[in-house]
Amino acid sequence: MEEKRIDPLQIIGFFLLFLVLIWMMYDQSEMMEQNEQLETNGVTTQSQVDDAPQSTVPVVNNAPVIMDSIPEQVTTLQNELLRLAVTSKGGFIQEAELKQHTNHLNEQVFVVKDGNTDFNLRIEANGALINTRDLNFLPILDGNQLTMRSQVAGGTLDYIYTLSKEREDSQAYRFQFGIRSSGLSVQPETDLYWGLDGFRHALSADYENRYTQLTYQYEGDKVQALSAMGEDDDKDKEVSWISYRQHFFSMILIPTTQFESIDAESSSLMNPDNSDDSVFLKRFETTTAIASQNGALNTSFDWFIGPTDYEILKTYDENLSESISFGWGIIGWMNRFLFFPLFGLLSGFLPYGIAIIVMTIIVRLALSPVTYKSYLSQAKMKVLRPEINALNEKYGNDRAKKQQETMKLYSKAGANPMAGCVPSLLQLPVFLGLFYFFPVAFSLRGKSFLWAEDLSSYDAILDLPFSIPFYGDHVSLFPLLASIAIFVYSKMTMGQQMQPSQPGMPNMKFMIYLMPIMMLFFFNNYASGLSLYYLISNLITIGIMLVIKNYIIDDEKIFLQIEENKKKPKKQSRFQRKMEEIMEQAEQQKRTGRRR
C-alpha cells in the first residue's frame, strides 16, 4: 500500500503564499530586463520573484554561479508544440503544456502543472544524504539546452534539458534529460522516484479513467499494464520505458540504458461521491535505481510528453505505441494492421463522421458472407420446425430418444443447428477490435459530427437534473438510436429461431429486450464514434438480412433441397457414428432399467 502524502492542494497553497511574500520583496523590472536579454536566444526565462536586489544572481549563459540564497526561478523551453517550465526548486519540470490541445473546458492541456509531479534522486555522496527535490538549482542557458546546476556537499549536480526546435510532430514532443555529477563520491546506486497525479482532460471522468493507465516494457518486448480499475502494483526487471498514460495524453520515461528493475504503483484519485468533480484521476508512482560510474552520476533519459497518438508513437524505435491498449491477441493485431490504417486512409479525405460510416460499410460488406451463412442456417431450421415439433410431441419426456431422433433428422436434411452460431463467433473479434479501436483513436478527439461535438466523448442531447445509477446524468442520442436498431435486429433474428425454448435455456424473448437495454446503459458515457459505428453497423445488417430474405433465399427451394437431401444416403463421420452409438447405449440401458 502506498504511503499517505501531503494533499497537493496544501502544497499549492504554500507555494502561492511563498510567491506573495517574494513579490513583496523584489522588483519586477529587473527580471523583465533579463527576459529581454534571453529572448534573443529563442529561450524565455521567467522569474517567479519580483523586486530582486542587485546582488541577486540572474540567469546567464555559461556564467560562473553563486549558490548563496538563490530565489526560486522558472525557466521556459518551448517549440511550436510543447512548452516546458523548469523550476530552480528541485530542478525539475513544473509545467508541461501541449500548446495545440485543449481539454473539455476549452483550456490548454497540461500534463504537468500545479505540483502534480514529483521527481527525486536520493543520492548518498561525500558522507551526506541528498534529496534533489529539496535542492536549489541555478539555470544556465546555452541555445536550446538548459542546465540546472546545484552546488551540494562539496560538488555539483546538473540536470541537462535539451528540447528540439524541430516542427516534426514525432520529435517536438520528445526531449533529452541528462544527469551529471562532479566532485561527488556517489555510492554505487542512486534511488530514483517519479510520481505523477494524472489530470482529467475529458468530459466524462469515468470514461477517461478506464483508459488512464501505467504501462511499461520489460525483458525485451513484453508490455505490462497495471489495472485501470483500481489500486495495483507490480515489479519487473530489464525495463526499457515507463508510460503514465492519461488517456489521450502521456508522459513516458525512456532510459538510454534500461532500468535493472522497477517498483510501479497505481491508485485512484477520483472523487468517490461525484466523479465529474474530480481534478485528478490516478496517481502513478515508480521507484528504481540508477548506477554511478566511477563514483559519479553520468546518465541520460528521453522524455516524451505529448498525445497518445498511434501515428506519432509508432515512429519511435522503442516500441512506444505498445503503451496504447489495442486489445490482446488477434484483436490487437486487427487494430494495428487493419483498422488504424483503414481509418487513417478514409479520414485523410473524408470528414471523420463520414469516415466512420464508410469504414462501417466496408466492414459489414466484408462480413456479409458470414451473415448469409447464418441466415441460411436459420432458414433451414425454420423449414424443419414442423418435423422437430412432431418429434417433441411423439417422444414427450424421453429426452434421450428425442435428441437421438432430432440428430438423425438434422443429418438426413443436411442441417446443422450450430451453423448459425459459428458465423456469429467469427464476427466476435471484429466486434471486440472496434470496441478497443474507438476509445484509443486520438484522431477522433475534438472532431464533431451532426449533434456530437466530440466523437471521442459522449453526445449528450439532454442533461438530467439527477443521476441514474449505471446510466449517468445525461441522455446520449447515438447509443439510444443504436439500442433501437439492436432491438429491431433482435426481433428479426428471433423470428427466424425455429427451436422452441428448452428447459434450462434462457428465455429468448427476454434477450430481445435485454441486449438493447444493456447497449443503452453501457454506452451512454462511451465515445459517440463507437455508438455511431454500432448504429450504422446494425442498420446495414438489417438491410443485408432483408435483401437475403426477400431476394436471395427462397424457403420453398430450401424445403425441396432438404427433401432431396433426405433421400440421399448419408455417410456419417466417425464422430457422428460414435455419438449415435452412445445415444443408443443410453437408450438401451434406460429400457433395461424399466424392465427390472
Q: What is the pLDDT of residue 28?
A: 36
Question: Nearest to residue 541, comparing CAs of 577, 461, 487?
Answer: 487
Count of residues for the chain? 596
Give how far the C-alpha of residue 72 lies from the chain's centroid of Cα atoms, to the nearest Å: 37
- Per-residue pLDDT tens digits for 302-333: 999 999 999 999 999 899 999 998 988 888 89
- Give the three cell numbers for residue 255: 532510459
Q: Alpha carbon of 348 to those of 138, 311, 332, 344, 359: distances in Å?
A: 47, 13, 23, 6, 13
Distance CA 218, CA 24 (A): 51
Q: What are phi and psi of 246, to 5 degrees?
A: -100, 65
346 Cβ partners below 8 Å, 6+ apart? Answer: 355, 358, 359
Q: Which residue has the higher pLDDT, 95 or 545?
A: 95
Q: What is the pLDDT of residue 510?
A: 67
Q: What is the pLDDT of residue 517?
A: 87
Is 107 exposed, middle or buried, given 0-12, 13-18 or 19+ CB atoms closer than 10 A? exposed
Q: What is the pLDDT of residue 25?
A: 37
- Per-residue pLDDT tens digits for 405-427: 677 666 666 666 665 566 667 77
pLDDT exceeds cutoff 50 at 261: yes
Q: Looking at domain 8-325, does it have CATH number 2.40.30.10?
A: no
- Find out whether 240 and 218 touch, Cβ atoms under 8 Å: yes
Mean pLDDT of 29-40: 37
Q: What is the pLDDT of residue 566?
A: 56
Q: Using DSSP, state whether 570 is helix, strand or coil.
A: coil
* Minimum mean pLDDT range among 74-83, 161-170, 429-438, 485-494: 161-170
Q: Would you give the DSSP letter of residue 550?
A: I
Q: What is the pLDDT of residue 349?
A: 92
Residues of the chain with pLDDT > 70, as a percent, come to: 70
Q: What is the pLDDT of residue 413?
A: 61
Torsion of the alpha carbons at 385, 390, 391 and 397, rounded to the nearest 10: 120
Strand ranges (E), 295-409: 298-307
pLDDT exceeds cutoff 90 at 489: no
Mean pLDDT of 296-301: 93
Distance CA 213, CA 276 (A): 18
- Find out whether 70 and 86 touch, Cβ atoms under 8 Å: no
Instruction: Give 227-288 as a 3 state SS string.
Output: CCCCCEEEEEEEEEEEEEEECCEEEEEEECCCEEEEEEEEEECCCCCCHHHCCEEEEEEEEE
- Give the three cell numbers for residue 19: 510567491
Q: What is the pLDDT of residue 555?
A: 62
Q: What is the pLDDT of residue 472?
A: 84
Question: Nearest to residue 357, comparing CAs of 573, 213, 536?
Answer: 536
Q: Alpha carbon of 555 to those of 516, 561, 562, 568: distances in Å?
A: 29, 10, 10, 20
Mean pLDDT of 173-178: 94
Strand partners, 298: 180
Question: Nearest to residue 119, comparing CAs of 228, 251, 207, 26?
Answer: 251
Q: What are phi and psi of 81, to 5 degrees?
A: -115, -30
pLDDT exceeds cutoff 60 at 153: yes
pLDDT exceeds cutoff 90 at 579: no
Positive or negative torsion for Cα 466, 469, 473, 476: negative
Q: Using DSSP, state whether 439 is helix, strand or coil.
A: helix
- Per-residue pLDDT tens digits for 585-596: 666 666 666 555
Q: What is the pLDDT of residue 143?
A: 81
Q: What angle do CA 475, 478, 481 make, to 5 degrees?
A: 95
Q: Which residue has the higher pLDDT, 64 or 397?
A: 397
pLDDT exceeds cutoff 90 at 379: no
Q: How confident is the model at residue 503 (pLDDT cuts 50, 70, 90)?
A: very low
Mean pLDDT of 98-112: 93
Q: Alpha carbon of 64 to those of 39, 42, 67, 138, 140: distances in Å?
A: 21, 22, 10, 10, 9
- Find out whether 28 and 50 touch, Cβ atoms under 8 Å: yes
Q: Alpha carbon of 15 to those of 18, 20, 22: distances in Å?
A: 5, 9, 11
Domain ranges across the chain: 8-325, 334-447+529-567
Q: How confident is the model at residue 498 (pLDDT cuts 50, 70, 90)?
A: very low
Distance CA 198, CA 210 (A): 13
